[in-house]
């Protein structure tokens, strides 16, 4: 019996991919036990990826012609390096498609984009309980930045900071 390796393709997302990307984002949120935190809609995703001022980019990965994963990223900037970087917001491969190298191919493509654009680094975060993601990233040569803590200001606290609301209660935002 002859076994053939799956054909993996990676391409830039196009506007027709927005519904697929939204579905994959919702699947990722389910996996991370954060489905209720998803506020993005197909429309808001389309505006942020393909509107007059795109805020992020996405690539789509397929196995044997069937879309099975994505990576979504955007530029950040390092004042110390004096160069842009990429922030990998999400990298996700459908459960049934894992183990074929698609995640590695998506991650590699983000790395190629960073090098093509003279970025100094790629950064991302991983949930502390997601051991498979941590093992994956470590196997790619990544290292944890333990001396840094991620902080977030969102919801009512963000509105307050901008001077558009009263002092919020000590409620924490979702994602």
pLDDT digits (tens, 9 = 90+) for 72-119: 999 999 999 999 999 999 999 999 999 999 999 999 999 999 999 999
100 found inside a domain: yes
Above 60 in pLDDT, residue 173?
Answer: no
Which pLDDT value is given to residue 171? 55
Which pLDDT value is given to residue 100? 96
Which strand ranges, in their side-by-side order, compose the sheet holding 57-63? 8-12, 57-63, 66-78, 83-93, 122-123
Is 137 a known active-site residue?
A: yes
Above 70 in pLDDT, residue 145?
Answer: yes
Above 90 in pLDDT, residue 174?
Answer: no
Counting every residue, how long is the chain? 175
CA 63/CA 39 separation, integer angstroms = 28
Residue pointed to by tokens 């002859």: 2
For the domain that residue 61 is a member of, what is the CATH number?
Answer: 3.40.630.30
- Containing H/E element for 144? none
CA 123/CA 127 separation, integer angstroms = 14
Per-residue model confidence as pLDDT tens digits over 28-87: 999 999 999 999 999 999 999 999 999 999 999 999 999 999 999 999 999 999 999 999
172 found inside a domain: no
Residue 89 lies in domain: 8-147
Above 70 in pLDDT, residue 175?
Answer: no
* DSSP code string of 13-50: --GGGHHHHHHHHHHHHHHTT-GGG----HHHHHHHHH
169 found inside a domain: no
156 found inside a domain: no
Per-residue model confidence as pLDDT tens digits over 125-141: 999 999 999 999 999 99
CA 101/CA 79 separation, integer angstroms = 34
58 found inside a domain: yes
Which pLDDT value is given to residue 144? 93
Catalytic residue among 77, 92, 137, 151: 137
pLDDT tier at 9, thresholds 50, 70, 90: very high
- Overall number of domains in the chain: 1
* Environment class of 72 (CB within 10 Å of its CB; exposed 0-12, middle 13-18, buried 19+): buried
């Amino acid at each position: 019996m002859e076994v053939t390796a799956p054909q993996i393709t990676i391409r830039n997302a196009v506007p027709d991919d927005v519904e697929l990307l939204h579905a994959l984002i919702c699947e990722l949120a389910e996996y991370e036990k954060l489905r209720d935190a998803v506020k993005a809609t197909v429309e808001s995703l389309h505006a942020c990826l393909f509107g007059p001022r795109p805020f992020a980019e996405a690539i789509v990965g397929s196995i044997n012609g069937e879309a099975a994963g994505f990576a979504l990223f955007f530029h950040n900037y390092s004042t110390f390096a004096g160069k842009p970087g990429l922030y990998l917001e999400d990298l996700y491969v459908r459960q049934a498609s894992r183990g074929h190298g698609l995640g590695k191919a998506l991650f590699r493509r983000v790395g190629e984009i960073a090098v093509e654009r003279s970025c100094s680094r790629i950064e991302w975060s991983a949930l502390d309980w997601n051991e498979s993601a941590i093992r994956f990233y470590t196997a790619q040569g990544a290292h944890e930045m333990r001396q840094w803590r991620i902080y977030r200001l969102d919801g009512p606290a963000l509105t307050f900071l901008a001077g558009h609301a009263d002092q919020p209660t000590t409620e924490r935002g979702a994602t």
